[in-house]
Structure 1
Amino acid sequence: MSGGEPGARSLGLEAALWRAVAVYRGLALVYAAVVIAMNFDGYAHPAGGWAVLAVMAGWTGYAVIAFSDPRRRGWPLLAADLAVAAACVLATAWVETEHNIAAGRPTLPVSWVAAAVLSWAVAKGRRLGIAAALVLAAANLLVHAVAGRSGGIGGTTFNGIVLLFLAGLVVGHVVRLALEAEARLARAVELESATRERERLARRIHDSVLQVLAMVQRRGGELGGEAAELGRLAGEQEAALRSLIGSGTAPPAPAPDAGAEADLRPLLTGHASTSVTVSTPATEVRLPAHAAREVEAAVAAALDNVRRHCGGGARAWVLLEEGAGEVTVSVRDDGPGMPAGRLDEAAADGRLGVAQSIRGRIADLGGTVAIWSAAGDGTEIEMTVPRTRV
């Protein structure tokens, strides 16, 4: 939709809007027929008035059927609709007498031409609705110019032009608001349905899987040895599963649509465990699906470094923040930290974990990576990527 109008449309609301336009076309046609029947004996070419009415009737029938099919509501049909409306207005200069035009008698189609403005406003938004009104306003003015009228336009013509502009502006704006409201309602219904399903799954998981993992953790601690390690892993999986349930959704599968987006929160909360704390905003943090997966992979690489270099007792904290036009993820640990020059030495020795798995991924997304570390003070890796697709 032009001018930032929403492109996603609900079929239910859109169908209702087009039905309303179709009803308007029919009623406005009846009104135009009454006006022509009352005035035809004063026309310069009375037969021309009936010919214009026949064109309007034929186009009304065709347009009602054509606009009811979403696949046909494109530029060709909209342009034809506007062209027919403008032609009917211009025909007034031939059918009417100059005296009647000068006296302020309405154009032959009267308010029927507003249906074209409404169609443009519903299909393309308020800006193009106003553009359609401008075309018809020019046709009205041209009728007076062809008729040789001087001294400006009459009050009736001026009022008609103003109403056309108001129709394009107001209807286009209201349609945009209505579609946005319906989209929000649909999203709320979807979230409510997902919440209910999540609660149902959470109850079932709590009654089975979580209880088993908790029992394995407790018994492993009691038995000691290798069983204690098994118990520790079970505890981490229990914490990760609880965090995943609480986050509201599982990590999404890669989307085939190149323009698809994904919520970064569930991808990160999947790494939560007894030793890893993940903090995310309450609302969705959306990125292009590819970018979200790459950020998650970089976080996974950072956490893997914590496990390999900081020992089993180290803790890590993952923080997701959303800024103006960018998303920042920081991974901080309480390990021994890195001495100065450690990363340069690793790169020189061919160990490119940080350089490729973290910095390389984020750089490919157009983002930046900052690393702070000192011996004995832990390490913090801050990754910032733009919201726009790269």
Structure 2
Amino acid sequence: MAMGIESPFWRAIAVFRIASLGYAAVLLLQAGGYAYPVTGWTVVGVMAVWTAAATYAYSVAAWRGWPLLALDLLVSTGCLLATPFVQGPQAAVGTMPITATWVAAPVLAWGVYGGRRAGGVAAAVMSVADLWLRGVRGFDLSAVPVNGAVLLFLAGIVIGHVARLAKQAEARMQRAVEIEAAGRERERLARDIHDSVLQVLALVQRRGAEIGGEAAELGRLAGEQEAVLRELVRSAPRPARTLGPRRRFIPARRPRAESADLCASLRRYGSAQVTVATPADPVPLAPRTVEELSAAVGNALDNVRRHCGEHARAWILVESESGRVIVTVRDDGPGIPEGRLEEAAAGGRLGVSQSIRGRVADLGGKVTILSSPDGTEIEMSVPTALS
């Protein structure tokens, strides 16, 4: 599959061919002194047919290649060399060939496809044909202006260079998109792993130590695997070699409803220890936003139970403001010691850094954590746009 950045170049060359064909026809109409006007219109007809054929051929990515480029250059050179059979031997010095500017189209095509070197080669072939044509017609080559040849070289080299830079930039952008997508998917998997596997392993380790005996050995093994898994999750992602420069990584998504009620999703956390306060009216958000916010709240409550005890009290407050929804989780525990969150993130414990902050950041929101000896308050603010 051809890179998308090339398409505007090929469309521009097609427009140039058509405009140059019209210019050549106008010149033929104005030049009443041509010796063989019928031959001239025949050449213009060949140019018109090739313009239509080349425009279609270059629009098909699979057909773009050196055979088509060589044929394009051959046809254009042939039309150029037919000039003496149209203008006759008495044409004035400096008279524009029957093809006019139309012969620059293959030079541009070579430059776009092969870069500045290929564009320079095509310009050289076309310039040599033009100079040979003038020499055959008896013109003084020392007096022939070289403006046309210079312009051909500039067009082929400059367009080729710009096209090559554009393709390189697109390849880098594509690679950056793939790396970003892979990183975001890795973060999502890390959150899911933390919410399920890591917590289960931590529970097995703690209960095994409490029970003792063979259960203690099972708990020790669970603790070792938890440490290994945390290190894998915490390590920086590396670009996957299987992602080619022209393939895009897009995680598969299941069809979702248009909106969901955040309040209904959060009320399920209500219990004797957890009080949920929501607006009387539903708070509709995108289903993914509701799912991620609910998961972040659930993780915050898990942290309350783990660090403050099974009987610690917690409160969930939902507020809907203009364009934003704010969800606050507050507890009456002893607070978070200074530096504890940074230490946990460095040790691979991602309960706050990924499962809460990471989730909210992916939704375009922000998290504010306030802690004191009287308790901890986690405020999650996200936009209400249904996206």
Q: TM-score, normalised by structure 1?
A: 0.57
Name the counterpart of 2:325.
Answer: none
What whole-Å deviation, never above 9, does each CA across 1:113-151 have from its counterpart, x for those lacking one?
111111111122221111111110111011111101124
Flag the structure with larger Rg.
2
What whole-Å deviation, never above 9, does each CA across 1:13-62 have from its counterpart, x for those lacking one?
222221111111111111111112111x2223222221111111111011
Q: 1:34 and 2:26 equivalent? A: yes
Name the counterpart of 2:224.
Answer: 236
Name the counterpart of 2:181.
Answer: 193
Q: CA deviation at 1:187?
A: 2.1
Whole-angstrom distance in 1 between the partners of 2:238 and 2:200: 21
Whole-angstrom distance in 2 between the partners of 1:237 and 1:221: 15
Matched length = 244
Q: CA deviation at 1:201?
A: 2.2
Name the counterpart of 2:80.
Answer: 89
Structure possessing the higher relative contact order (Cα contacts under 8 Å, 6 or more residues apart): 2
Q: Which amino acid aligns with 1:115?
A: A
Where structure 1 has 5 or more consecutive residues not aligned to the other structure, the ranges are 1-7, 258-390
Match 2:34 to one of 25, 38, 43: 43
Contact 1:118 1:167 in 2 (8 A): yes
What whole-Å deviation, never above 9, does each CA across 1:219-244 have from its counterpart, x for those lacking one?
44455554444334323322332233
Whole-angstrom distance in 1 between the partners of 2:177 and 2:196: 29
More helix by share: 1
Please tell me the root mean square deviation across aligned C-alpha atoms, in Å. 2.7
Name the counterpart of 1:163.
Answer: 151
Q: 1:124 and 2:114 equivalent? A: yes
Whole-angstrom distance in 1 between the partners of 2:226 and 2:239: 17
Contact 1:93 1:144 in 2 (8 A): no
Whole-angstrom distance in 1 between the partners of 2:90 and 2:26: 21
Contact 1:220 1:229 in 2 (8 A): yes
Match 1:75 to one of 66, 70, 76: 66
Name the counterpart of 1:148.
Answer: 138
Q: 1:62 and 2:53 equivalent? A: yes
Name the counterpart of 2:384.
Answer: none
Q: 1:246 to 1:43 in 2, by over 3 A?
A: farther
3-state secondary structure, aligned to 1:42: coil
3-state secondary structure, aligned to 2:46: helix
Q: 1:188 to 1:161 in 2, by over 3 A?
A: same
Whole-angstrom distance in 2 between the partners of 1:13 and 1:252: 24
Where structure 2 has 5 or more consecutive residues not aligned to the other structure, the ranges are 245-387
Name the counterpart of 1:20.
Answer: 12
Contact 2:20 2:101 in 1 (8 A): yes
The range that moved more, 143-152 or 79-88, is: 143-152
Q: How does 1:158-307 map to 2 (within 5 A)?
A: 158-222=146-210, 226-247=214-235
Identity across aligned pairs (percent)? Answer: 55
The range that moved more, 117-126 or 237-246, is: 237-246
3-state secondary structure, aligned to 1:114: helix
3-state secondary structure, aligned to 2:142: coil
Q: Which amino acid aligns with 2:34?
A: Y
